[in-house]
Amino acid sequence: MNFELTEERQMLQDSLRRYLAGASGDVWAGLADLGVIGALFPEEKGGYGGAGFDLAVVFEELGRADLDVPLIDNALLPGLLMTAAGQDVEPLIAGGQKIAVAHGETAARYDLNWVETRADGDLLTGEKCVVVGGEAADVLIVSARHSGTADVQDGIGLWLVERDAPGLRLQGYEIAQGGRAAEVSLTDTPGTPLMTEGYAAIVQAMAAATLAEMAQTLGAMDVAVAMTQEYLTTRKQFGRPIGSFQALSHRLVDVMVAVEQARSMVILAAAHLEAEEPVRGRHISAAKNLIGRSGRLVAEECIQMHGGIGMTEEYALGRYAKRIVMADHRFGDTDHHLEQFIALGAA
């Protein structure tokens, strides 16, 4: 048994951490130049990674940085759907192309099989919600149903839709964790077919995206805890550091224990990303459930232990806390993954 990173991943982690510590300007181009986007995809697709632990390393570092870079939404998730469809992702890896995935719908909540958007031949009509990175994308991958009722896994196809395609409307807005998303409305919008039956590819890509989101959240939790530890040792009230009060120090220990549990779950999920279903799904769901619970504890306790200062936008802790809590609203929340875990049985 060995929990150490390989030498290559250690190097990736080091160089990414160094880069992010001083990153400014066009971070997307910087990450592409550093080869970070390539680390998300396997060699046969033009990358040099793509394994669960590659994703864990990259996104944990990204989560430590006080930046909002939609690497999951504009690179990983669309790239995996493109490769599943046998498409070239080299422009994506080079950083010259951004794609976003418009799959989620209001009625679907977190269910991947629920698609009401209809395909009439290659003309798509429907409403896609909270498409992160949608405005920044040159092209969208849109899921639509060519057959079956809204809730069946068969009959969901994928299309490439240009940003300026007729009948396509985007309404963009800020999102709570930082960055932007959009509501996407399609009315007889022409698309280029990518896959006829896309459900399995969606499940697989979303599993990787969920792992990435969890690793990113773990990175953010590490920073939030370190900031709180620092605050408890430096902030004085009643003539002594507030961390000398057990009412706070014991709670910080509980938070730290929760983060170590979360770290173990990211490792476990990364190790099972390439496993067959239902083993993969069960591990991903177990991890997302635990991280949803521990993330809430970490964010709320770190704010509380800071007091008012933890609630200000100017101080970084609040931004990390928002990223940690809002991660629960991406790729299925605590309850959704509890249900998935139960449904997938004792695999």
Q: Which residues bind another protein (CB under 8 A)?
A: 104, 106-107, 109-111, 114, 129-130, 132, 150-151, 171, 173-177, 181, 183, 237-238, 242, 245, 247-248, 296, 300, 303-304, 307-308, 310-314, 318-319, 321-322, 325-326, 328-330, 333, 335, 338-339
Core vs surface per residue 160-182: b (16+ CB within 10 A) or e:
bbeeebeebebeeeebebbbbbb
Which of 343, 242, 221 is closest to 291 using CA atoms? 221
Q: Which is nearer to another protein, 163 or 180 (CB)?
A: 180
Cα radius of gyration rounded to whole Å, the chain: 21
Q: Which is nearer to another protein, 19 or 110 (CB)?
A: 110
**At 257, is the secondary structure helix, strand, or coil?**
helix
Q: Which is nearer to another protein, 196 or 304 (CB)?
A: 304
Q: Which amino acid is at 278?
A: P
Q: Which is nearer to another protein, 111 or 162 (CB)?
A: 111
Shortest approach of another protein to residue 58 CB, angstroms? Answer: 22
CB neighbourhood size of 30 (10 A): 17
Q: Which amino acid is at 250?
A: H
CA pair distance 235, 249, nearest whole angstrom: 13
Q: Which is nearer to another protein, 51 or 326 (CB)?
A: 326
Whole-number Cα distances in Å, 344 to 31, 115, 284? 37, 21, 11
CA pair distance 250, 270, nearest whole angstrom: 31
Shortest approach of another protein to residue 69 CB, angstroms? Answer: 16
CA pair distance 117, 191, nearest whole angstrom: 13
**At 269, is the secondary structure helix, strand, or coil?**
helix
Shortest approach of another protein to residue 49 CB, angstroms? Answer: 28
Shortest approach of another protein to residue 106 CB, angstroms? Answer: 5
Shortest approach of another protein to residue 292 CB, angstroms? Answer: 10
Shortest approach of another protein to residue 151 CB, angstroms? Answer: 6
Q: Which is nearer to another protein, 195 or 212 (CB)?
A: 212
**At 131, is the secondary structure helix, strand, or coil?**
strand
Q: Which is nearer to another protein, 195 or 303 (CB)?
A: 303
Shortest approach of another protein to residue 40 CB, angstroms? Answer: 23
Whole-number Cα distances in Å, 290 to 121, 285, 333? 42, 9, 10
Shortest approach of another protein to residue 96 CB, angstroms? Answer: 28
Any long-range contacts for 46-50 (C-beta under 8 Å, 24+ apart)? 46/88, 46/89, 46/90, 46/93, 47/89, 47/93, 49/12
Q: Which is nearer to another protein, 146 or 322 (CB)?
A: 322
CA pair distance 178, 199, nearest whole angstrom: 29
Q: Are 315 and 224 contacting, i.e. CB atoms less than 8 angstroms apart?
A: no
Q: Which is nearer to another protein, 106 or 244 (CB)?
A: 106
Shortest approach of another protein to residue 127 CB, angstroms? Answer: 9
Burial class (CB in 10 A: 0-12, 13-18, 19+), 234: exposed
